[in-house]
Amino acid sequence: MEKKESLKAYKKRLDTALENKFLRKSLDNFAVAYKISREKAFSGMDVEGLVKEVADIKAAAIKNNEALLEEFTQKAKANGVHVHLADTAEDANRIIEKIAGKTGSKKVVKSKSMTAEEVHLNKWLENSGVEVTETDLGEWIVQLRHEGPSHMVMPAIHLSRFQVADLFSEITGTKQSAEIEKLVKVARQQLREKYFQADMGITGANYALAQTGTLGIVTNEGNARLVSTLPKVHVALLGIDKLLPSMKQALSINRILPKNATGQDITSYVTWITGPSQCKIAKNETREMHIVFLDNGRKKIAADKDFAQVLQCVRCGACANVCPVYRMVGGHRMGYIYIGAIGLITTYFFHGREHAANLVRNCSNCGACKEVCAGGIDLPSLIKQIHTRILDEEGHPLKNLLLGQVLKNRKLFHTLLRGAQLAQKPLVHKKKDSDTLYLRHLPMIFSKEHNFRVLPAIAKIPFRDRFKNLNPTIKKPAHKIALFSGCVQDFVYPEQLEAAMKIFAKANVSVSFPLEQSCCGLPALMMGEKKAARDVALQNLAAFENEDVDYIVTLCASCGSHLKNNLPTLVRKFAPKKAALFAEKIIPFSQFLNKIVGMEPMEGRGQKIAFHSPCHLCRGLKVKKDPRQLINKSGNFYVKTPEEETCCGFGGSFSMDFPAVSNAILTRKLEDVEKSGANLLVTECPGCVMQLRGGALKQDKNIRVIHLSELF
Amino acid sequence: MDSTVDENTQEFIEKATLVSARVYRVKDMASALDKALDLCKSKQISHAGIKTDPVSTKTALVMAAPNLDEDSFTSFFKDCRKNGNILLIRDNLRKYPDGIDMGLTLVDFGIAETGTLVLNSDSEETRLATMLCETNVAILRVTKIRKTALLMADELNELIKNNSSYTAFITGASRTGDIERVLALGVHGPLELIILLVEA
């Protein structure tokens, strides 16, 4: 087992990446361009329907994997293909080494295969004296630099043309210009020779069709065709998860794969190979063909009811393309072999927890990956589950255990918060923008790098103590609601709830506030404390059980999304019915005000207002239009900013664990707002307020950040 | 013309053009070959290494057309030599590692939805003709254009079901975005793709 990288060493690597200006600019451009081209590629199509179809096809194929493997093997053997099954990475390497030995293959050309990366095939073959040349341009570049790919589809996205020019100058012994077109020609010439010299070609495959024993390979460069045509031996290495019943399913997946990967309708080449093809230099003019199916933990994943969906991945790489963390730090720090959200998960299964432990913490849980996943995988939730598993296996750190204990006991938790309010007194001061008090110095538990935003102090009087005086009796209410405050609004920003109370009173809405409600439980889940999250979920269910209300309104998108989406799963073995009833009543503030109350447009100040859409609102609760419409109804103008649905970098404990990454994401966001000309930024989650307002104050930006409730 | 054929053809042209393929409409097979000859003639000798015509001993352009039928090949071979100083070949493409100037193939189907060509390339020569060439010219009958790949799943199954079958979907030229995501054509295979649509 390799030595585990310490969290400190991992963070140091992150810092280096954050300082790499080329990487930052390149990934930034890519993140923006990708979204546009993906949208264009899918325009007029029912994306959700397509994803559902792919998810269903893959799920069924995984369930039926054993039978498909048997059918494929039979068919392929009848066609004269040698079919091998490798249980582990090492087995796969040995099998391929043996084929090379038997066929006397000394030189190998390869087209891109993540599966070969997974088993570290190149290193193995090179150690046994075989020369291996990657032929995918990006893979060839990273191979020459002795690196791994930094993206599943664009392996060399972390490198500039100048770095490539230097590299090519070195290998050709001639000074090469940094013109991309010329560099591509250099590769064409250099690699052409390699194809002709090679004894063996190794490819991966995107699809294995059981009905006909056919492999489907998707490429843009066309290198897989040369690799599988010129050498007299062809070895294909692929995971057993690539098996499908027939052409039809592959064509369905192929409608979405390239669109999701690069925004292309289809790649330049899709190659279908059934059995050994004609090869004029081989015996009987027929190529020797081997197919190596790799298990390496896949069967175990398939049998795990929570994680079987991991195998629905079609390796499009989209989860990296939209990940705010990937965008800041790049692939080499956002995966071990497989990159992006799916990489965080598969690293644990394929390469062990020593490689996954730090990675799974580096997720803000923004849900952007889940929204674009071609295979319909609930990536953020699986990342959290892996985090929990690793803690269960390695032992939970003391701070987690304490948090779990405290959260479970609401009285203790709230007493501690009140105590902290008194203790922080000498440390607090006022800032220009609101009544909120801020911490002058960060408490000792924080390090210097946490100082990228100003943190608010705990309010003198929490909302729960103010509620009684704020709540007028409403005789004939239009709607009856209960309020779920969440800890941050209750104890840090009670004014956001106070503002909402005024709006409710005007709209003739009667409000109750069950005092036994506690933390929603999301922070516990984010830290991998699933059990504590379940305990508070049950307490909250009990707190709201006897409320005779139509809705449970929350002004915190994170609480709302957690209560609606995660809570029923957490308590599914304890109170499934209660949880379903509770979850159904949860509604975010903006949706309640806009759709249920039907707020009318009013006179306002005519200000330009930018909006930050909290991840848990736009993706978690799928509420997109309501807050924007309310901004316009408030008598102001909503101005669109380029990436208002991209995470602000808060992510609860994420911003505590990875402050430098969080700060980079935050700064990017504030720059967008600044460019829009708006100096008021509205959002609908106290966590986002904390991050964005704290950052704007720290960076002295002329941007005021408020919660939507404070706009009226 | 049948309105479905017309619709599919229009969509095919639009999609193929989007991936930088050049599309020409020609009335029949003979005109398609004439057009291919013209296109090859306009190329500069040298891209793919200098070749000599063994008969005329003059430097010639090389065009590979492995899947033309016997008669068409014979007469086209003569045309190429007479009218264009072009050496037409169909065998031993492996002997041209530096490449060939033009690869000409008759393709089996077109897919309108994506501007894709479907080519049965079971023969090694057909495969190499489309891979080693600088310019890939494909001849496609408009009646062979289908709306989507899914709608022609049965026809595709016919192609792939036989042992030793090697079927290619080709959409545009060989491309890469691997250096700074800048699109560059011809990284391994053809630098350009030209499609000749035969009406009759």
A461 touching B, CB under 8 A?
A: no
Domain with residue B167: its CATH number is 3.40.50.10420
Residue A208 has pLDDT above 90, yes or no: yes
Tell whether the model's pLDDT for residue A284 goes beyond 90.
yes
First to last CA, chain B: 10
* Axis crossing angle, helix A659-676 with helix A686-698, rounded to the nearest 10: 80
Token pair 């995501």: residue: B181
Which residue carries 């901004």 as its tokens?
A631
A229 touches chain B (CB under 8 A): yes
What is the residue-averaged pLDDT of chain A? 94
**Residue A573 is assigned to a structural domain of this protein:** no
| Residue A277 sits at the chain B interface (C-beta within 8 Å) | yes
Closest CB from B149, B178, B188 relative to A222 = B188
Q: Tell me which residue in A30, A79, A255 faces B163 most closely, judged by beta carbons.
A: A79
Residue A693 lies in a domain: yes
**Domain enclosing residue A685, as ranges:** 599-711
Same domain for A295 and A321?
A: no
Rounded average pLDDT over A192-211: 97
Q: What is the pLDDT of residues A398-414, one digit of tens each?
A: 888 888 888 889 999 99
User: Helix A7-19 vs helix A659-676: angle between axes, to the nearest 10 degrees?
Assistant: 30
Of B97, B124, B157, the CB nearest to A229: B124
Q: Closest Cα of chain B to A352: distance in Å?
A: 30
pLDDT at position A679 is: 93
Q: Is A235 helix (H, G, I), strand (E, B) or coil?
A: strand
Lowest mean pLDDT among A55-64, A285-294, B53-62: B53-62
What does the CA dihedral A191, A195, A197, A202 come to, rounded to 10 degrees? 120
Check whether A437 has a pLDDT greater than 90. Answer: no
Q: Pairing mode, if any, of strands B116-120 and B109-111? A: antiparallel
Mean pLDDT of A636-648: 94
| Tens digit of each residue's pLDDT (9 = 90 or more) over A676-692 | 999 999 999 999 999 99
- Percent of chain A predicted with pLDDT > 90: 88
Residue B71 is predicted with a pLDDT of 96
Domain annotation covers residue A52: no
Closest CA to A491 of A397, A542, A422: A422
Same-domain check for residues A161 and A286: yes
Q: What is the percent of chain A with per-residue pLDDT over 70, rounded to a whole number?
A: 98
Asked whether residue A430 carries a pLDDT value surpassing 80, the answer given is no
Residue A519 pairs in a beta bridge with none
Q: Per residue in A124-161, pLDDT tens? A: 999 999 999 999 999 999 999 999 989 888 899 999 99
Q: Which of residues 140-159 of A touch B (CB under 8 A)?
A: 141, 154-157, 159
pLDDT at residue B164, rounded to an integer: 94
Q: Do A221 and B159 touch (CB under 8 A)?
A: no
Q: Which residues contact A56 (CB under 8 A, 6 or more apart)?
A: none
Specify the CATH number for the domain of residue A172.
3.40.50.10420
pLDDT of residue B98: 84
Q: Name the residue among A252, A272, A277 with its Cβ closest to that of B150.
A: A252
Residues A150 and A224 in one domain: yes
Question: Are A266 and B114 an interchain contact pair (Cβ–Cβ within 8 Å)?
Answer: yes
Host H or E run for residue A479: strand A479-484
Contact assessment for residue A621 and residue A555, using Cβ atoms and an 8 Å cutoff? no
Taking the CA of residue B99 and the nearest CA in chain A, the distance in Å comes to 9
Closest A-chain CA to B134: A188
Q: How many CB pairs below 8 A link A and B?
A: 181
- Structural domain contains residue A467: no
β partners of residue A293 = A85, A238
The alpha-carbon gap from B53 to the nearest alpha carbon of chain A, in Å, equals 23
CATH number at residue A691: 3.40.50.11810
Residue B47 has pLDDT above 60, yes or no: no
**Predicted confidence band of residue A1 (pLDDT cuts 50, 70, 90):** very low
Query: What is the average per-residue pLDDT within A673-678?
Result: 94
Residue A195 scores a pLDDT above 50:
yes
Note whether B179 contacts A135, CB cutoff 8 Å. no
pLDDT 10s digits, A357-402? 999 999 999 999 999 999 999 999 999 999 999 999 999 988 888 8
Q: Is the pLDDT of residue B122 over 50?
A: yes
Mean of pLDDT values over B94-98:
89
A141 and A234 housed in the same domain: yes
Closest CA to B93 of B122, B63, B128: B128
List the single residue in A164, A209, A286 with the smallest CB-CB distance to B179. Answer: A164
Q: With contact defined as beta carbons under 8 Å apart, do A107 and A199 qualify? A: yes
Q: Is residue A556 in a domain?
A: no
- Closest CA of chain A from B198, distance in Å: 22
Residues A295 and A322 placed together within one structural domain of the fold:
no
Predicted complex ipTM exceeds 0.85: yes
Same domain, A240 and A365: no
Domain total for chain B?
1
- SS3 at position A62: helix
Q: Is A602 on the interface with B (CB under 8 A)?
A: no
- pLDDT reported for residue B50: 57
Confidence of residue A310 (pLDDT cuts 50, 70, 90): very high
Does pLDDT of A620 surpass 70? yes
Question: CB–CB of B178 and A138 under 8 A?
Answer: yes
- Can you give the pLDDT at residue A153? 85
Instruction: For B123, name the nearest residue in chain A, comparing CA atoms only.
Output: A278
Position A18 in a domain:
yes
pLDDT one-digit tens code per residue, A98-129: 999 999 999 999 999 999 999 999 999 999 99
B124-139, pLDDT tens digit by residue? Answer: 999 999 999 999 999 9
The answer, yes or no, to whether residue B23 has pLDDT greater than 90, is: yes
pLDDT digits (tens, 9 = 90+) for A334-358: 999 999 999 999 999 999 999 999 9
Contact A225 B175 (CB under 8 A): no
A254 and A327: one domain?
A: no
**Yes or no, beta carbons of A265 and B114 under 8 Å apart:** yes
Asked whether residue A31 is assigned to any structural domain, the reply reads yes
Q: Does the beta-carbon distance from B166 to A80 stay under 8 Å?
A: no
Query: A352 and A394 in contact (C-beta within 8 Å)?
Result: no
A 78-97 residues with CB below 8 A of B? Answer: 78-80
Q: Are residues A188 and A272 in the same domain?
A: yes
Look at the alpha carbons of A415, A417, A418, A423 in this order and tell me if their dihedral is positive or negative.
positive
A65 Cβ neighbours under 8 A, 6+ residues apart? A240, A241, A243, A299, A302
Same domain, A91 and A168: yes
**Is the distance from CB of A324 to CB of A643 less than 8 angstroms?**
no
What is the widest separation between alpha-carbon atoms in chain A? Answer: 93
Q: Which of A142-146, A654-658, A677-681, B47-51 has the lowest mean pLDDT?
A: B47-51
**In-domain check, residue A477:** no
In a mutational test of the A interface, the residue from B17, B46, B67, B179 whose CB has the highest number of chain A CBs within 10 Å is: B179
Q: Is B19 exposed, middle or buried (0-12, 13-18, 19+ CB in 10 A)?
A: buried
pLDDT band at B54 (very low <50, low <70, confident <90, very high): low
Residue A129, helix vs strand vs coil: coil
| Same-domain check for residues A278 and A332 | no
Query: How much is the pLDDT for B49?
Result: 52
- Burial-class residue A233 by CB neighbours within 10 Å (0-12, 13-18, 19+): buried
Check: CB of residue A394 under 8 Å from CB of residue A357: yes
Q: A344 and A282 in one domain?
A: no
Residue from the list A79, A212, A269 with its beta carbon closest to the beta carbon of B169 = A269
Domains held by chain A: number:
3
Q: How far is A543 from chain B (nearest CA, A)?
A: 53
Q: How confident is the model at residue A445, as a pLDDT?
A: 60
Confidence class for position A540, pLDDT limits 50, 70, 90:
very high
Residues in B touching A135 (Cβ below 8 Å): 188
Chain A CB contacts of B109 under 8 Å are none
Q: Is A424 on the interface with B (CB under 8 A)?
A: no
Contacts of A274 in chain B (CB under 8 A): 160-166
Q: Which domain holds residue B54?
A: 3-198
Give the pLDDT band (50/70/90) at residue A449. confident
- The pLDDT score that the predictor gives to residue B45 is 61
Q: Do A271 and B167 touch (CB under 8 A)?
A: yes
The pLDDT of residue A439 is 79
Is the minimum CB–CB distance between A163 and chain B shorter than 8 Å? no
